[in-house]
Amino acid sequence: MNYWNPYLETLPREAYDQIELSYFWRMFSFAKEHSALYRDKLKGMEGKEIRSLDDLKKIPLTEKEEMRKYQEVEPFPYGGLLGSDIEKVTTFRQTSGTTGKPIYVPETYESWQWRIEAWCHILYMAGFRPRHRVFLPFGYNVYVAFWEAHFASEKVGCELVPGGALDTKGRIHKILEIRANGMMNTPTYGLHIAEEAKSMGIDPASLGIERMLCAGEPMPPATRKRLEELYQCHVFDHIGGTEPCAWAGMCEAKDGMHIIEPFFMVEILDRETLQKEVDEGEIGVAVVTPLGRRSFPLIRFNTKDLVIKGKNSCSCGRTSRKIKEVVGRTDDLRKVRGVLFSPKTVEEVVRKEFQEVEEFEIVVERRGLMDVITLRAEVNPQLPVSSIEQIKTHLHESLKIATNLTFHIIMEPPGSLPRYMLKAKRFKDLRDI
């Protein structure tokens, strides 16, 4: 069986639209009645005014900043974002707070089950099956992704091994000891485990991982390929967030990501105006409406994730809409010397062309009136001086071509730069301070 839910995953396009619209109407009325945020936001509007994806534009986007404001009122700690009776809340989660004060997210048992079911689609699509013993190399806490991964694995029928309370070496030993053949991690931590295994004299390919599901950071195709080469395994990506849930995942065709329809209504809007839906192949901002989660109603949530809109057909037979690639976050896009710059472009260049570079960091500073952009790259100092110089020149040229910016390149010995388990912070804009 190729599909987690053969009926839902192969619906004709019109059926998806119809089902999503009817779910949307229900969610609209529910949110208006139960959440203080939407009582205000949807005042004077009726759900039935929305008859197509295009009509959605009549409803203003939901921004994280206004959610923070609504969270400050009673009932503590969820405030006006709560969609259910507080006594029905069974778990507390929160956002990482990378972009400001964290948002507290309530789950009732019912909303949690809905969330897990959506995640099962992602896991199953990535080929995870009951034969997989899946290692989760993290200690769990208030962040939702670990728990989703854990419970969805169980529901799909995999054997889940929680890998908390161990350091990276300990985790490598555990993978070998219990012969885990699946893993779920951030791309950064996947690379770090491979690096650590090599330092222990273990080839990462010999760890026996067959399938890896990544999340937490935008993963350029070159990083995915590098992980596949290191582990000799299949690597899949997915995208989501604490507030809207995980809403798209990669199937075995590895050609973009399927939106989990009809669980989510997803718009990909022009990033300047946030009005017009972009065309296939264009970059836009993902705006997500989860259609069945009542503890924390969200309508047209601006994820600030930049994605390339994909085509609507796939060799796997699924009929849902697709995104081609995650480009980054609108927060990450900066102007450097007047040029629009995305750190993900640098990652793509480094991972694709420079196998010798283990870790890197980008720093932008202002010196006088000039922006200076520096790449610090870790390279083994035992390489001959001439090779290091060659890598430096090559990096300089490739980055100039890819970004139209002249980088100052500094070579560092291995271990000089920080390592991250969750969201990596490889881009530092010191001009903001």
Sites of contact with Zn ion (CB under 5 A): 251, 253, 314, 316, 318
Give the containing element (helix H, strand E) for 226.
helix 221-231
Comparing CB distances to Zn ion, the nearer of 11 and 142 is 11
Task: State which residue, 169 or 324, has the beta carbon closest to Zn ion.
Answer: 324
Cβ distance to Zn ion smaller for residue 260 or 269: 260
The answer to whether 180 touches 209, Cβ cutoff 8 Å, is yes
Query: In the complex with Zn ion, which residue's Cβ is closer, 121 or 133?
Result: 121
Distance CA 38, CA 80 (A): 9
Q: For helices 343-353 and 221-231, what crossing angle results, to 10°?
A: 40
How far CA 181 is from CA of 93, 232, 329, in Å, comes to 29, 12, 32
User: Shortest gap between Cβ of 211 and Zn ion (angstroms)?
Assistant: 16
Supply the minimum distance, in Å, between the C-beta of residue 425 and Zn ion. 32
- The answer to whether 318 touches 14, Cβ cutoff 8 Å, is no
Q: Output the smallest distance, CB 419 to Zn ion, in A.
A: 33
Nearer to Zn ion, 89 or 251 (CB): 251
Enumerate the β-bridge partners of residue 362. Answer: 375, 427
What percentage of the chain's residues is helix, strand, coil (to nearest 5)?
A: 35, 25, 40
In degrees, to the nearest 5, what angle opens at C-alpha 20 toward C-alphas 18 and 21? 65
Q: List the one residue out of 327, 350, 326 whose CA is nearest residue 399.
A: 350
When the beta carbons of 45 and 253 are compared against Zn ion, the nearer one is 253
Strands 264-269 and 283-290: antiparallel
CA distance 112 to 119: 11
Closest distance to Zn ion from the beta carbon of 1 (Å): 15
Q: Which of 10/96 has CB closer to Zn ion?
A: 10
Give the pair of three-digit tokens for residue 95. Answer: 């956002």
283 forms bridges with which residues in the sheet?
308
